[in-house]
Chain A
Amino acid sequence: MSTVLEQIEQQIAKLSSHAVKKNTGNIRTIADGVAKIDGLSDVMYNEMVSFPGGAIGIALNLEEDEVGCVILGDVSQLKEGDEVTTTGRLLSVPVGKALLGRAVDALGNPVDGKGPIDSKETYPVEKIAPGIIVRKSVTQPLFTGIMAIDSMIPIGRGQRELIIGDRGTGKTTIAIDTIINQAKANQVGLASGDPKFRPVYSIYVAIGQKNSNIVRTISALEAAGALQYTIIVAAPAADNPANQYLAPYSGAAMGEWFMENGLDALIVYDDLSKHAVAYRQISLILKRPSGREAYPGDVFYLHSRLLERSARLDGKGSLTALPIIETLAGDVSAYIPTNVISITDGQIFLETDHFNQCIRPAVSVGLSVSRVGSSAQIKVTKQVGGKLKGELAQFRELAAFAQFGSDLDAKTKGQLERGARIVELFKQPAFSPVPIELQVAILFAMQKNFFDAIDTKKVVAAAAAMKEFFTTRKDTLLTEIRTKAALDKDLEAKLQAACDEWKSGYTA
């Protein structure tokens, strides 16, 4: 027995006498969350470095005789001369399903007061995007639950669709609606026991937002039962710019875990304008050369390397990205908006005028586009909503022309009235996404002129009544639309009969 103990003791002695090598440096200057460090001759680009007191930094500038680091965490205790050590590790965040329903910071630490997160795996925050060979075309739909988007600007799994507009035009609302819609679809799909159903998990990254807004978003998701399928990555305005700079990459790493494990995920970056501003601040303090609007030269790469990480992988899952950009006075030709427009696969443009006219969601059909989504659109949506975009464009053109005179022929008047009804039909309150099968039923009714006899101002109420009718009384028909996903003669007849039944019982 004693020999066994001696053996163990020898092993311990061997281990404990082992010298640990560390590469160190000393803080030369520290200001605005950025430290210039002497030494650290072995440090790698983007490596985590350890500061006294547990603070972590990332080496961003490797110069001839100093290293520029951004510090994540509390800098108040750090001072000139403090020793800094390399860790040999790249910044990583916890990933996995354990994060669902939780709010974390840019480093993956919980900030919701619900205790520690039991996550077994970590993923590096910075990762090279999937290459050409492993990618697959976007062919599976991702429904937002917003009729105007799903019917005219469809989004597919693995797509990057930009949401762009001025402040207060409902950009975040569209993103939250989409998350809620995924949760509702997950609940229905998982309950149905369909083995082919693929749930979509969501990640909401809040960058530079007010804490009160983040709390409101979490409450909205919780109220809709969507938080259990969602991870919130919060880097609020009170956080240092380094955290705001890292948060989208952390969110992307969490999303990649779902993608790599054969699952589908949706990530919302709210918003990348503030992300660019945080990066500009860091770059200026690091004394990197500034370019247009004082942004550094690699601000395009900042967003392209982030958004390229969203993809649909062959034999694995997908990561769909909804980046948000805030414009000033509707100027989509500014530096950051044009960058992100060119990186993404389409954009949903929100107009202030529409918003003020109570056309909400304030989607501008003319300026919005989805470059790859149409191949992901299901057949039934194409069948009932294929002509809508053209009809609406015609309506806008005619409406502008009709302002100059009242003598219009019957055909033009008809087109104007139909356009006005479509606009009314697409109005949708916040946080109430409509399932795709219900959208199909309503668009079918629109296509078959069931709303023509209803006064334009009462179309919203009529549509609400129709939704109620279908949800409460035609559940089997809705399930059939969802499962068939195409309109055959039998289904068309059933829909026609249901619409007739609704019309006979509906009084405006």
Chain B
Amino acid sequence: MAAHAKQAQQLARQLFRLSLADGAVSPAKVTGVLEYVEKHRPANPIMVLKAYERLIATELGRSQALVEHAGAVSEDVLHSIAAVLGKRYGRTLTATTRANPALIAGLRVRVGDDVYESSVAGQLASLAASV
């Protein structure tokens, strides 16, 4: 089982590398990879595709700034967030929004694994942890 998982992971990584164009995920290449997988069914196709999906999702997450907000956020603010973070990470980021009333007030921006927290809920959580 462990050996199968390792093989599937390795194949998924190969497919992932084939899906990149200029360091970014190319939708055309992803379509091509999926067609290839359907045609030449590898061993454990579900395992391979799940691992591939995870790698693609991680990569897409790295070029996306998900802005969670409580209250309204103007387009200007979104653009400036995308611009500042894009400069920091050295790549073009697209900002998407999601309303999250649990934040109470403020913003939470997620780029890949990194989370920038500037919300009341975050401050309350850090206060609770320090008490």
Interface residues of A (CB under 8 A from B): 16-25, 38-42, 64-65, 85, 287
Contacts and interface: CB of A to CB of B under 8 A. Distances in A.
A19 B55 contact: no
Contacts of B58: 38-39, 65
Given A16-B123, A287-B2, A24 B115 contact: yes
Contacts of A42: 113-114
A507 B65 CA distance: 93
Contacts of B55: 65
B74 interface: no
Contact of B54 (A22, A38, A40): A38
Contact of B113 (A16, A18, A20, A40): A40
A25 B117 contact: no
Contact of B112 (A16, A17, A41, A65): A41
Interface of B: 2, 9, 13, 54-55, 58, 107, 109-110, 112-118, 122-123, 126
Contact of A19 (B2, B9, B117): B117
A25 B115 CA distance: 10
B82 to A, nearest CB: 15
A258 B113 CA distance: 40
Given A41-B112, A287-B2, A20 B117 contact: yes
27 contacts: A17-B118, A18-B118, A19-B107, A19-B116, A19-B118, A20-B116, A20-B118, A20-B122, A20-B126, A22-B114, A22-B116, A22-B117, A23-B114, A23-B115, A24-B113, A25-B113, A38-B54, A38-B58, A39-B58, A39-B113, A40-B113, A41-B112, A41-B113, A42-B113, A42-B114, A65-B54, A65-B58
A19 B110 CA distance: 12
Given A25-B113, A39-B58, 5 more contacts: A19-B109, A19-B116, A19-B118, A20-B117, A23-B114
A47 to B, nearest CB: 14
A21 B122 contact: no
Nearest to A50: B129
A54 B117 CA distance: 19
Contacts of B9: 65
The 6 closest A-B pairs by CB, nearest first: A19-B118, A39-B113, A19-B116, A41-B113, A22-B115, A20-B117
B1 to A, nearest CB: 11
Contact of A21 (B2, B54, B107, B114): B114
A414 B117 CA distance: 85
A427 B109 CA distance: 71
Among B9, B113, B118, B122, the most chain A Cβ lie within 10 Å of the Cβ of B113
